[in-house]
């Protein structure tokens, strides 16, 4: 093997790219870097060609700020791929570049030490432990007679425990015995350049689902659904993957909250909802008119661990998506991490805008973001501060 672990990927990508430039025009980060995706691949190859040692290679990349911007500034939103006539796979390219960045110590430990979600402690499990949020009574992987595996994702499981339980109970009442999958899908690991660890985590989840006997996995986040579909398919496990909206629609769910907000609604599409089916199903589930305003335009700002590299880019992206909603309206998200990201941005830069996950319009329990942000901040001081710094530092 050469100095780069993933050089095959770069050669393949470079061979498929005509450098038409459409991807650059579709992306603020590529525009800032003045690079096409194919030029990222070529720059990685060139950095290796002119290096004799690992340290040479590291310096060649570190001294190329355009390349660093293009690789670290990616949300994995695939907006660029939608403009590429060849459908060149941006995620394959950038995930592999992140692996080489990680191998070369080009991603600082502080950028990922709190999201090693395949270890015992990460920011989500620490939050849950410190604030007494546990679900042992809902985890039934070993029973073997479950119908459904419910996968709420990190943000809902950590920051909306009452809402999570209410949804779980509904899923079970509608579809039979259910087990909870309260793991992360591994997305933060991939963003940090730990691709194999992310896949190993998904394999473990796949084993748990198979052991539970579940015939379907119901995911709240479209990114978790993509990760599970890919893993189960790769491993030949015949378990169906569904989004929560699709599942609730198919099972005749009756909303617990009868009234939608009186404010105008803007439904914000998740970039992980590649074909828009989650958005369509959610519109139908909410009973909103087909012409209800929708917000497309890529990522909410949370994807790809970009916030650790460039917090302003995350804030600008959240502002950009929310800018399509008029003052006095409610932005409705599909992915709970989008809801978290907008809540965080609205706390930092307040606007007359309500921000709801769609399940909050259907169920009684709600997120309490003021409490969540207070609890997230406070756990770094006081009696848990030193412990937290030692396990996540
Ligand atoms: S749009 Fe596709 S072919 Fe054109 S430069 Fe980008 S990756 Fe290459
Ligand atoms: S996936 Fe999104 S953020 Fe990444 S290069 Fe493409 S458009 Fe830019």
Burial of 293 per CB tally in 10 Å (0-12, 13-18, 19+): middle
Is residue 278 within 8 A of residue 224, CB to CB? The reply is: no
Domain count, the chain: 3
Domain membership flag for residue 364: yes
Q: How far away, in angstroms, is 309 Cα from ligand 1 center?
A: 24
CATH of the domain at 227: 3.40.50
Residue 119 predicted with pLDDT over 80: yes
With a 6 A CB cut-off, is 314 part of the ligand 2 pocket? no
Is residue 157 within 8 A of residue 164, CB to CB? The reply is: yes
Domain membership flag for residue 348: yes
pLDDT at 258: 79
**Residue 217: strand, helix, or coil:** strand
Q: Report, as an integer, the average pLDDT of 78-91.
A: 95
pLDDT interval class at 29 (50, 70, 90) = very high
With a 6 A CB cut-off, is 249 part of the ligand 1 pocket? no
β pairing state of 216-219 and 178-180: unpaired
Is residue 268 within 8 A of residue 333, CB to CB? The reply is: yes
* 245 and 128 within one domain: yes
* 336 and 226 within one domain: no
What is the phi/psi pair of residue 51, to 5°?
A: -115, 140
pLDDT for 311-366, tens place per residue?
999 999 999 999 999 999 999 999 999 999 999 999 999 999 999 999 999 999 99
Average pLDDT, the chain: 96
Give the percent of the chain with pLDDT over 70: 100
Q: What angle do the packed helices 385-392 and 123-130 form, to 10 degrees?
A: 160
Diameter of the chain measured on Cα atoms = 67
pLDDT interval class at 297 (50, 70, 90) = confident
* 85 and 133 within one domain: no
Q: How far away, in angstroms, is 94 Cα from ligand 2 center?
A: 9
pLDDT at 309: 96
**Nearest residue by C-alpha to atom 2 in ligand 1:** 84
* 189 and 307 within one domain: no
Q: Report, as an integer, the average pLDDT of 98-118.
A: 96
Residue 393 predicted with pLDDT over 90: no
Domain membership flag for residue 389: no
β pairing state of 178-180 and 148-151: parallel
C-alpha distances out from residue 322 to 58, 316, 352, Å: 38, 10, 11
Lowest mean pLDDT among 2-6, 125-129, 288-292: 288-292
pLDDT interval class at 382 (50, 70, 90) = confident
Q: How far away, in angstroms, is 254 Cα from ligand 1 center?
A: 46
With a 6 A CB cut-off, is 20 part of the ligand 1 pocket? yes
With a 6 A CB cut-off, is 14 part of the ligand 1 pocket? no
* 269 and 244 within one domain: no
pLDDT at 352: 97
**Nearest residue by C-alpha to atom 8 in ligand 2:** 27
* 242 and 357 within one domain: no
**pTM for the structure as a whole:** 0.96
Residue 380 predicted with pLDDT over 80: yes
Domain membership flag for residue 255: no
* 348 and 295 within one domain: yes
With a 6 A CB cut-off, is 38 part of the ligand 1 pocket? yes
Structural domain containing residue 354: 265-376
* Cα 189 from Cα 198, distance rounded (Å): 6
**Nearest residue by C-alpha to atom 4 in ligand 1:** 20
Q: Report, as an integer, the average pLDDT of 256-270.
A: 93
Domain membership flag for residue 337: yes
Q: Report, as an integer, the average pLDDT of 108-136.
A: 96
**Nearest residue by C-alpha to atom 1 in ligand 1:** 84
Q: Report, as an integer, the average pLDDT of 271-283.
A: 95
* 236 and 186 within one domain: yes
Residue 76 predicted with pLDDT over 80: yes
Q: How far apart are the first and last CA of the chain?
A: 32
Alpha carbon 152 to its chain centroid, in Å, reads 12
Alpha carbon 31 to its chain centroid, in Å, reads 23
Residue 289 predicted with pLDDT over 90: no
What ligand 1 atom has the least distance to the C-alpha of 87? Answer: 2
User: What's 335's DSSP letter?
Assistant: S
Strand order in the sheet with 216-219: 178-180, 148-151, 216-219, 240-243
**Which of 385, 323, 329, 336 minimizes the C-alpha distance to 352?**
329
* Cα 18 from Cα 8, distance rounded (Å): 18
* 159 and 75 within one domain: no
């Amino acid at each position: 093997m050469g100095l780069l672990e993933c050089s095959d990927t770069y050669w393949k990508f470079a061979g498929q790219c005509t450098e038409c430039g459409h991807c650059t025009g579709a992306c603020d980060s590529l525009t800032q870097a003045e690079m096409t995706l194919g030029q990222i691949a070529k720059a990685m190859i060139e950095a290796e060609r002119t290096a004799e040692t690992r340290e040479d290679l590291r310096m060649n990349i570190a001294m190329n700020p355009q390349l660093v911007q293009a690789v670290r500034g990616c949300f994995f939103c695939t907006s660029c791929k939608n403009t590429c006539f060849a459908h060149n796979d941006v995620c394959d390219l950038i995930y592999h570049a992140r692996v080489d960045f990680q191998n070369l110590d080009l991603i600082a430990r502080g950028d990922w030490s709190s999201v090693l979600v395949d270890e015992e402690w990460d920011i989500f499990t620490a939050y849950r432990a410190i604030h007494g949020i546990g679900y042992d009574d809902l985890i039934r992987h070993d029973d073997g007679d479950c119908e459904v595996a419910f996968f709420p994702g990190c943000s809902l499981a950590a920051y909306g425990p009452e809402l999570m339980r209410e949804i779980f109970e509904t899923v079970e009442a509608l579809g039979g015995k259910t087990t909870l999958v309260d793991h992360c899908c591994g997305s933060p690991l991939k963003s940090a350049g730990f691709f194999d660890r992310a896949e190993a985590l998904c394999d473990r989840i796949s084993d748990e689902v198979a052991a539970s006997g579940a015939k379907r996995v119901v995911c709240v986040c479209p990114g978790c659904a993509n990760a599970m579909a890919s893993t189960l398919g790769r491993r030949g496990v015949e378990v169906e993957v569904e989004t929560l909206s699709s599942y609730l629609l198919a099972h005749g769910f009756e909303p617990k909250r009868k009234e939608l907000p009186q404010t105008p609604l803007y439904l914000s599409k998740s970039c992980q909802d590649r074909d828009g089916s989650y958005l369509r199903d959610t519109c139908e589930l909410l009973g909103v008119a087909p012409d209800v305003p929708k917000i497309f335009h890529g990522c909410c700002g949370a994807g790809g661990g970009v916030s650790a590299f460039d917090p302003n880019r995350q804030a600008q992206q959240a502002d950009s998506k929310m800018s399509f909603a008029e003052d006095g309206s409610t932005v409705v998200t599909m992915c709970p991490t989008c809801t978290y990201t907008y809540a965080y941005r609205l706390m930092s830069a307040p606007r007359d805008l309500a921000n709801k996950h769609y399940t909050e319009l259907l169920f009684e329990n709600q997120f309490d973001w003021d409490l969540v942000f207070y609890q997230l901040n406070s756990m770094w001081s006081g009696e848990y501060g030193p412990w937290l710094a030692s396990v996540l530092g």
